[in-house]
Amino acid sequence: MTSSKKQPAIILVRPQLGENIGKAARAMLNFGLTEMRLVAPRDGWPNPAAGPAASGADIILDEAKVYVTVEDAVADCGHVYAATVRDRDMPKPVVTPREMAAQLHAQLGQDAKPAIMFGPERSGLTNDDVVLADTVLTVPVNPGFGSLNLAQAVILAAYEFHTYADATPAYQPASDDRLATKEELLGLMEHMETELDKRGYFRSEDRRDPLRRTLRNLVQNAAYNRQEVHTMRGIIKSLARSPKVDN
């Protein structure tokens, strides 16, 4: 079984049915993934309908962690994939499960913590969910019939991760080169948004959310390491100070 320290987290965002959570757990354990995170499950947690659907994958359900928000669920993650088939007006890289598998193994070799997010069964991930991701994961299904249920999407990602093998030794970065966690990136985003708000940047309420998502995408897509986040926050803090007046 894959070590919990060397695998991506599987994040189910606002899952609706306990049965679907159980089936996703079964799909995960089939391929050695054990870290499930649940964001605001609709029917609460634990859910009695999940156990029978898991068909013996109870360890996944017993150890599943529950979060109130997506921000909380990805806080310790360095790279997040958002599973979605919808077109988005967001400049993010798009990969298939096979391409993602190679990237996941490289990230784990660098001691990063990646995660894969899956949205609720009916509506999928929202734009506010996707903006917290670094990369979009899309399965190349039949364009005439692209309907995948939650467990199917999870099993495709888990299978590709499990079967991928790379004999090339992973690059070991210095500690300052490691990707910033989502908690660190969110801190930078909120710092930036707070200072811009003070200066009237978000003048129109109608444009506030789109502008906020654009700014967050800029930070996400920069792939900052921890030192760069620290530097950017120092720059914002410096710009926010009142200018010195010479006597």
User: Which pTM does this prediction carry?
Assistant: 0.76
Structural domain includes residue 246: no
Structural domain includes residue 38: yes
Question: Within this chain, do residues 82 and 145 fall inside the same structural domain, yes or no?
Answer: yes
**Structure confidence at residue 143 (pLDDT):** 81
Question: Within this chain, do residues 84 and 157 fall inside the same structural domain, yes or no?
Answer: yes
Nearest-angstrom CA–CA distance, 145 and 166: 33
| 217-243 confidence digits (pLDDT tens) | 999 888 898 889 989 998 998 888 877
- Residue 159: which pLDDT band, with cuts at 50, 70 and 90? very high
Question: Within this chain, do residues 144 and 179 fall inside the same structural domain, yes or no?
Answer: no
Last residue in a domain, options 163, 197, 218: 163
- Number of domain units in the chain: 2
How big is the CA angle at 82 (ends 23 and 93), to the nearest 5 degrees?
A: 145
**Average pLDDT along the chain:** 88
Last residue in a domain, options 106, 128, 163: 163
DSSP state for residue 51 in the 8-state scheme: H
Position 88 pLDDT exceeds 90: no
Q: Which two structure tokens, joined as six digits, stand for 171?
A: 């690059």
**Structure confidence at residue 87 (pLDDT):** 65
- The residue segments making up the domain with residue 232 are 175-240
**Structure confidence at residue 117 (pLDDT):** 98
Neighbours of 206 (CB within 10 A): 7
Question: Within this chain, do residues 191 and 114 fall inside the same structural domain, yes or no?
Answer: no
Q: Are the CB atoms for 190 and 155 separated by under 8 Å?
A: no
**Tokens 């690059």 belong to residue:** 171
Last residue in a domain, options 107, 138, 163: 163
The closest of 196, 172, 183 to 226, measured between CA atoms, is 183
Nearest-angstrom CA–CA distance, 98 and 85: 16
| 128-153 confidence digits (pLDDT tens) | 999 999 999 999 888 888 778 999 99
Whichever domain contains 31, its CATH number is: 3.40.1280.10
